[in-house]
Structure 1
Amino acid sequence: MIRLISPVFLIVPLLALAACTVNPATGEQSFTGFMSRADEMEVGKKEHPKILKEYGGRYDGQRIDAYVRDIGLGLARVSEVAGLPYTFTVLNDDKVNAFALPGGYIYITRGLLALAGNEAEMAGVLAHEIGHITARHTAQRYSQAMATNLGLQLLSAIGGSAGMPAGLGNLVSLGAQAILQGYSRQQELEADMLGVRYMVRAGYDANAMTTFLGKMEAHKRLVAAISDDPKAAERFHIMASHPRTSERVIQAIGLAKAAPAGRPRLQRETYLARVDGLLFGDDPKQGIRKGRLFLHPSLHFQFEVPPNFVLFNSPAKVVARGPDGSVIAFDMVEAGKAKAAGNLAAHLANAWGLKNVERITINGMEAATGEKKAWSLKGGRMDTRLVAIRERAGRIYRFVFITPPGLTRRLATDLRRTTYSFRLLSSREAAAIKPLRLAVITVAAGDTAATLARRMPFEKFRLEWFETLNGLPRGQSLIPGSQVKIVAE
């Protein structure tokens, strides 16, 4: 008997075939039919303001933004899509990260600039992101997702008659989303190959891409050690969205088959002169972490978290992670919205549904606290206590303390101390708070990594920070007269 093939199994492949074009960068067929170049530019334009808001805005200290833009445009000019209106932005974020949006929008954080040791390493990051854009990886992922969803919709339309088990469509969809989330290994290799090509064309040493990847891996290990959490770096680090290894970058250099004309550039001295004075760590406008202290000179307040808690800062909130999944979250409600809350105790009881609500006073400020049971993302039961504090300008500051039931009583005293450590700063105290900055110094005779590391204002991991920032293996001697980076107040 001749069996008829369902139209769904013909339509999707035909759509994919019709939507394939030859990519000028890779020279290969690329399925991007559901997102045009114009669509890419529209997406980038729409998302750009959101990126600036999420990552602390644009950073332009030491005119570093113009420097990065010049390097980026030089790399873009030697790409296959030189006519695209590229936009290069340095983000005011201390985390080590870089990424691209479709339409030519490329971002690099000041945290990444602090880690790089020369212009070629920074250029390698920019060239890699340009590679994602010229290869149109976002358009590929979007088009593949659309084709997959179209296929699933057609399958679901015939699923009843075909006897498809209920719920299978959702499972298949979830699998497709997981596969399409982030760049694939093949796309990362492709971006590396293109990045190497652009670096060589622009006269840079392509091996800098490999050396910087080693620095990023070392930085990731350091962040995990500082946080006492192997997964901490995964939440914020460039390596989370760019699954690359040194071996794959070396493979990309070989596959690119690009030979530099003349002596390739590193531009170490030029680069170090540019990053000298670069803001390091937190921006005072978003608050500063100093050990267990969090200080906000602009809003004039400070508080201290308990021992064994590690502070993380972002434009939206401050989070301190402690033992066994315990968490302290801190945020602010602006005066306009805070006014609508009215009586704090009543607000916590009615709007938040808290139990055992009581009025308290914290360093002369009206406050209230209450408790509630909650569930963690992993499904475990957690105890939750919220403290709301109204300060003189009308803002409401909120602590949320989340603890496993077995730890709640043991941590109660420490968390109470954190609550009452919240206080307002005088103008003089606020003015005395200075941010950390990168400083480039010349190694003198007798200097060692250990002696220079002791000059950095960290409580722990001073030597590890010095070695990571300068790309040094443990025990390596310093050369008198050479330049190194330290962190200074």
Structure 2
Amino acid sequence: MSHGVRAFRLSSRVKGLLAATSASLGLVACATVPGANVAPGSPITQAEAQQGAEYHEQFVAEFGGEMSGPQARYVSQVGQNIAVQSGLATSPTAFDVTLLNSSVNNAFAVPGGYVYATRQLVTLMNNEAELAAVLGHEVGHVAARHSARRQAAAQRNQLGGLGVAILSQVLLGNSGLGNTIAQGAMQGSQMLTLSYSRSQEIEADELGIRYLTLAGYDPHAMATLLSSLAAQNALDAQLQGRANATIPEWASTHPDPASRVQNALQLAGNGTGVVNRDSFLNNIDGLIYGDDPAQGVIEGSQFIHPQLRLSFTAPQGFYMVNGTRAVSINGDAGKAQMTTAAFSGNLDSYIRSVFQAIGGQNSNLAPTSIQRTTVNGLPAAYGMARVNNGQQQVDVTVFAYEFSPNQAFHFQAITPAGQASVFNEMFNSMRRISASEANAVVPRRIDIVTAQRSDTVATLARRMAYPDAQEARFRVLNGLSGNATLVPGQQYKIVVRVN
């Protein structure tokens, strides 16, 4: 959740643009702006270039901001070199490749020559060929003009205005309580229900592999990347206590990566090429891993934002995902978000405006009453409404806190009727943190180390800056299967804390 975050919704122009756009490379959620109905692989049209340029800054802002420096330049160079293989343009410089400051595994491309990847996704990769594979897959969606077909599907589904909070989807009957687990974790542009079809994902895989071959990379990198994504997805499910390891928390409507590994291997065949492992690892050394303190961090069940100077604790049995505009809290017993909205100094008005935003412009959703209280010295208020979401009776709760005369934060939660108390402990945990607590928040970063003869998976895993699942995290991060061992003299990634 970024500093100075606004309400969890997009501008109407971006909502209209994105309503027909979002799909994924497994863990990776990919989106493309609707493009012209032209032949696959034909050059970027003037209309596409204009559209991409028009929305570039809004996409960047929606996904954590643009990173700079040598790491960003390296990603850009690799992305440009793979994108030019698509035939969309004849010069690598026709493509604008952006490294995004986001802790979500994500990549997408826009039909104007704009390609994006998050730093978190880059840290999961183990060589340059895998980076090229991800970006090639995204460019493949653009080259095949998949978005035009998805726009038609959006018009059929009448899903045009999905930019407001996730709870409005539930209240308006667009999805049931049990289906909100994935959507509740999505950042603004990801708050969508559409996806590429399986055939479109496979086609993008095939195009990505073709681009890898043309660029001289090992075409098997697509399969190894998909394997790493599937392993990360399973690990996330295990760490978060989710039973379903095939549905990532931010995207539930696309084929999972594990189901496409064998197909990618078959497509690669006996092809060979470079992977550039060492140069890739050296170029990502020091990259932030996980949450950026400037956006707040999740430490176990606690969320801490050193710049906003706040903290709260999720209830037992729930897990959190930190987004650009909100923190989601997900569990079988209910879903919630912590975010903010415009505040004029009156908590009652603030809560009523949040209910109105949840319900949408044509809704009269309002709390039955608003109660005042104090939580850890903070003036607070809360309200509740019971509604039928089309499948069952649910309780919607908004619990707000005044941090200053012009700054408030709130939880918006949904539970089955009569079970709102599941979040009481969390509501009562919100507090203002001290300057010393804020200063103690240190980011995690990737550190590239060389395995010595005495090193084992266990010895390097113990250096991971996590209190739990160190070996499992190390193996997934380095693409090591359950029985793989280290190669002395080879470089590996660990996650450390660095001031």
* Same fold by TM-score greater than 0.5: yes
**Aligned residue among 141, 146, 151 for 1:137:** 146
- Cα contact 1:223–1:233 (8 A) shared by 2: no
Check whether the contact 1:79–1:198 (CA below 8 A) recurs between aligned residues.
yes
1:206 aligns with 2:219: yes
1:403 partnered with 2:386: no
Q: Aligned partners of 2:38 and 2:108: how far apart in 1? A: 25
For the Cα contact (< 8 Å) 2:141–2:204, is it kept in 1? yes
Give the match for residue 271 of structure 1. 280
CA offset digits 1:64-106 (Å, max 9, x no partner):
2211111122223444233372111112112222221112211
User: What's the offset of the Cα at 1:237?
Assistant: 5.3
Instruction: Name the CA distance, whole Å, in 1 between partners of 2:144 and 2:348.
Output: 56
Question: Out of 355, 361, 374, which is 2:368 matched to?
Answer: 355
1:405-484 matches, cutoff 5 A = 405=417, 407-408=419-420, 411=422, 415-484=423-492
Whole-angstrom CA distance in 2 between matches of 1:104 and 1:217: 28
Kindly state the Cα deviation for residue 241 of structure 1 after the two structures are TM-superposed.
6.9
- Deviation digits for residues 275-297 of structure 1, max 9, x if unmatched? 11111111112110000111111
SS at match of 2:428: helix
State yes or no: 1:236 paired with 2:239.
no
Match of residue 401 from structure 2: 389
Q: Aligned to 1:299, what secondary structure does the other structure show?
A: coil
How far did residue 375 of structure 1 move?
A: 4.0
Asked if residue 75 in structure 1 is aligned to residue 44 in structure 2, the reply is no
The 1-side partners of 2:352 and 2:198 are apart by 50
Which residue number in structure 1 is paired with residue 97 of structure 2?
A: 88
SS of 1:421's equivalent in the other structure is coil
Shift of 1:118: 0.6
User: What are the Cα deviations for residues 115-159 of structure 1, in whole angstroms up to 9, with x where unaligned?
Assistant: 1001111111122222233333334555x669999xxxxxxxxxx
Match of 2:127 in 1: 118
Question: How far is the alpha carbon of 1:449 from its aligned partner?
Answer: 2.0
- Structure with more of its chain in helix, by fraction: 1
What is the identity, as a one-letter code, of the residue corresponding to 1:73?
Q
Task: Structure 2 unaligned segments of length 5 or more: list them.
Answer: 1-35, 158-192, 356-365
Distance 1:297 1:356 in 2: 33
CA displacement at 1:113 relative to structure 2: 0.4
Q: Deviations over 1:367-407 (max 9, x none)?
A: 1123222345x722223332211113531111234333464
Distance 2:37 2:324 in 1: 41
1:293-308 alignment, distance < 5 Å: 293-308=302-317
Amino acid at match of 1:246: V
Quick check: 1:96–1:238 contact (8 Å CA) kept in 2?
no
1:64 aligns with 2:71: yes
- 3-state secondary structure, aligned to 2:398: strand
d(CA) in 2 for partners of 1:239 and 1:275?
Answer: 31
Corresponding position: 1:343 with 2:346? yes
- Aligned match of 1:290: 299
Select the residue among 213, 224, 245 that pairs with 2:260: 245
- Secondary structure, counterpart of 1:130 in structure 2: helix
- Could you tell me whether the CA contact under 8 Å between 1:97 and 1:237 is conserved in 2? no
Cα pair distance change 1:454/1:20, threshold 3 Å: closer
For 1:219, the equivalent position in structure 2 comes to: 232
| CA deviation vs aligned residue, 1:159-199 (integer Å, no higher than 9, x gap) | xxxxxxxxxxxxxxxxxxxxx95333443343333322322
SS in 2 for 1:303: strand
Partner of 1:4: none
Give the stretch that moved more between structures: 235-244 or 208-217: 235-244
Rounded to whole Å, the distance in 2 between the matches of 1:238 and 1:280 is: 24
SS of residue paired to 1:338: coil
What per-residue deviation string (whole Å, max 9, x for no partner) do you get for residues 244-273 of structure 1? Answer: 60222133334xx9x66xxx2111111111
Contact (CA 8 Å) 1:293, 1:305: kept in 2 or not? yes
Per-residue Cα deviation, 1:311-355 (whole angstroms, up to 9, x for no partner) = 111111111112x3312321123xxx311xx43246547985323
Equivalent in 362, 366, 378 of residue 365 of structure 1: 378
Q: Which has the larger radius of gyration?
A: 1
Change (3 A) 1:185 1:330: closer
> How far apart are the structure 1 equivalents of 2:275 and 2:155?
44
Please tell me whether residue 105 in structure 1 is matched to residue 114 in structure 2: yes
Give the conservation status (yes or no) of the 8 Å contact 2:127–2:281.
yes
Other structure's SS at 1:236 match: coil
Matched residue type, 1:240: H
Amino acid of the structure 1 residue aligned with 2:280: Y
Greater CA drift, 358-367 or 244-253? 244-253
Distance 1:130 1:417, change over 3 A: closer
Q: Is the 1:216–1:239 contact (alpha carbons within 8 Å) kept by the matching residues of 2? A: no
CA distance in 2, matches of 1:200, 1:78: 9
Letter in 2 for 1:464: A
2 CA distance for matches of 1:239 and 1:480? 41
What's the Cα RMSD here? 3.2
Going from structure 1 to structure 2, the CA distance change for 1:387 and 1:136 (only over 3 Å counts) comes to: closer
Cα deviation digits, residues 193-249 of structure 1 (max 9, x gap): 332232222221111121111111111212222223327844425993787602221
Q: Distance in 2 between matches of 1:83 and 1:107?
A: 19
CA contact 2:63–2:324 (8 Å) conserved in 1: yes
Distance in 2 of aligned mates of 1:351 and 1:402: 13
Q: Secondary structure at the match of 1:439?
A: strand
Match of 1:53 in 2: 61
Change beyond 3 A, Cα 1:346–1:69: closer
Partner of 1:309: 318
Cα pair distance change 1:231/1:473, threshold 3 Å: closer
8 A contact 1:40–1:139 mirrored in 2: no
Gap change, CA 1:20 and 1:400, over 3 Å in 2: closer
1:332 maps to 2:340: yes
- What percent identity do the matched residue pairs reach? 35
TM-score under structure 2 normalisation?
A: 0.74
Change (3 A) 1:372 1:135: closer
